[in-house]
Amino acid sequence: MGWDRLLRPLHAWIWRARARRGHKLLAFARTEADGSRHLARAAECTRDRRLRALFLRHAGDEQRHADRFTARARELLAGGSRAPWLQASLLAPGERGLDALGIADETDAQLLAFLHLSERAAASRFALYHDVLGRDPGTRAVFGDILRDEEFHMNYTQAQLRRIDPRHRRQLWRARARRLWKAYLRAATALAGILGTLMLLVQYFLVLPLFALLARRAARREPTGFWLHAPRAARDELRTQY
């Protein structure tokens, strides 16, 4: 993806810290394992025998990716390290998308179109990560290996979509629109989270101290003494000497 290529220096920075690499790989492993479960479900739901066999193989591949990411993450985090304060998951999300689908409600063509786009995005992302990981040959090799599978997934989903649906282009456009909508929702949620945190910080560090200051000044001006609790007539008496 051209946009990703433009952000190459940012991706290089994201992958530079060893702890962040480890924690990102763990997050990727979770996504791949989820994908594997969804594909096993898709194999259960389809009536097309060829697709069933391909989905099962695909599910096996994604589970293997999850295992490889987990194994490499363990090596990277072997010394023990805390999760970094910034994961940058929005910029380096790994392979995602299937979690947004209700597999049983999708037609085979809809599912294949969605899978094709998400596998294509994953292949492009993993090629970029492979590129920027020059200093970590171990992690680079993991991405190199997985990339070959992602390219196979990207190609078979396209070929099968063409086989089962003559209007495959239309399916792809619809899937693109759905992915765009999901991306918008993810960005809007992330922005809402950032704005919410900022509002709380402003309230905590600016508004609350200001009110505390005003309350203290007002308290200083308040008259004090036991006579404040006396009835009004008695209070007037207490104010004068006689």
Using CB under 5 A, list all residues that contact Fe ion: 32, 62, 65, 95, 119, 150, 153
Q: How far is the CB of 82 from Fe ion (least distance, A)?
A: 27
**Closer CB to Fe ion, residue 21 or residue 96?**
96
Q: How far is the CB of 44 from Fe ion (least distance, A)?
A: 18
Q: How far is the CB of 210 from Fe ion (least distance, A)?
A: 52
Q: How far is the CB of 195 from Fe ion (least distance, A)?
A: 33
Other beta carbons within 10 angstroms of residue 183's beta carbon come to 13
Q: What is the rounded radius of gyration, in angstroms, for the C-alpha atoms of the chain? A: 29
Asked if 161 and 168 count as a contact pair (C-beta separation under 8 A), the reply is: yes
CA angle 50, 120, 166 (to 5 degrees): 50
Q: How far is the CB of 123 from Fe ion (least distance, A)?
A: 8
Q: How far is the CB of 89 from Fe ion (least distance, A)?
A: 16
DSSP classification of residue 84: P
d(Cα 160, Cα 73) in Å, to the nearest integer?
34
Other beta carbons within 10 angstroms of residue 21's beta carbon come to 22
**Closer CB to Fe ion, residue 36 or residue 46?**
36
CA angle 63, 17, 146 (to 5 degrees): 25
**Closer CB to Fe ion, residue 13 or residue 179?**
179
**Closer CB to Fe ion, residue 119 or residue 165?**
119
Look at residues 98, 97, 94 and name the one whose alpha carbon lies nearest to residue 38: 98
The kind and range of the H/E element at 66 are helix 49-76
CA angle 111, 59, 2 (to 5 degrees): 60
